Amino acid sequence: MKVYLKRAPYLLFLLIIPVLGLIYQLLNERSHKAVDFISPIDQSIPFVPIFIIPYILWYAYIFCYLVYFCFKDPKVYLKTLTLIAAGEMMCFVIYFFFQTTVPRPAVMGDDIISMMVQFVYTHDQPYNCFPSIHVLTTFAIMLASIHIKNKHMINTIMLHIGGTLIIISTLFVKQHVIFDMIGSMFLVAFLYGLSFELFSIRVPKKSETVYVKNKG
């Protein structure tokens, strides 16, 4: 319990998430000659409204696993948060100079699933598409989880199945296209190499802290 209490202050770094969300919203209002990257593959992908469920669950997925990382391994948590923040900032630069859009289908139903799709469409303009932040953050969590030791098998399965469903949901609810997904995954792979392999974030261990105190 004492270990968890000492790690709790690291949760304050999560405040970067709403700040990034605010920047996203500001850029989401700019159409600025938006172009679309829709391909024949995207045209063959059907619109499947039920995928709006994993699409919306993305919010809980990112928050819950970042909190889990924080208490399980603060070093992985900080690296993941750094990766996500850096990735989103790079996306924002792209959105500012090269805005893309995705054509959306008409949603005519009045059932709960259709209403959820309409809610997302209403509150998220069809811009800020390439690269996809949904895919970027989800893939970052999936890659970072590799460094979490002693994970329960069920947790690992849920993490990767949930992440996969979120990623493909962006295509089935017509929020993104194939190029948006691929672009995000390449960006995450690049930043993952930097944050997890090239640079090191050092989180002092309890034993190290005691040693420093005794030495002083």
Q: What is the pLDDT of residues 125-172, one digit of tens each?
A: 999 999 999 999 999 999 999 999 988 899 999 999 999 999 999 999
Q: Which residues of 164-181 are buried (b: 16+ CB within 10 A; e: fewer)?
A: ebbbbbbbbbbbbbbbbb
Q: What is the mean pLDDT of residues 85-89?
A: 97
Of 111, 74, 98, nearest in space to 183 by CA: 98
Q: Smallest Cα–Cα separation from 84: which of 200, 193, 192, 10?
A: 192
Across the chain, what does the average pLDDT equal?
90
What's this model's pTM, rounded to 2 decimal places? Answer: 0.88
Q: Residue 5 has what pLDDT?
A: 80
- Assess contact for 35 and 100: CB atoms under 8 A: yes
Per-residue pLDDT of 93-116, as tens digits, reads 999 999 999 999 999 888 999 999
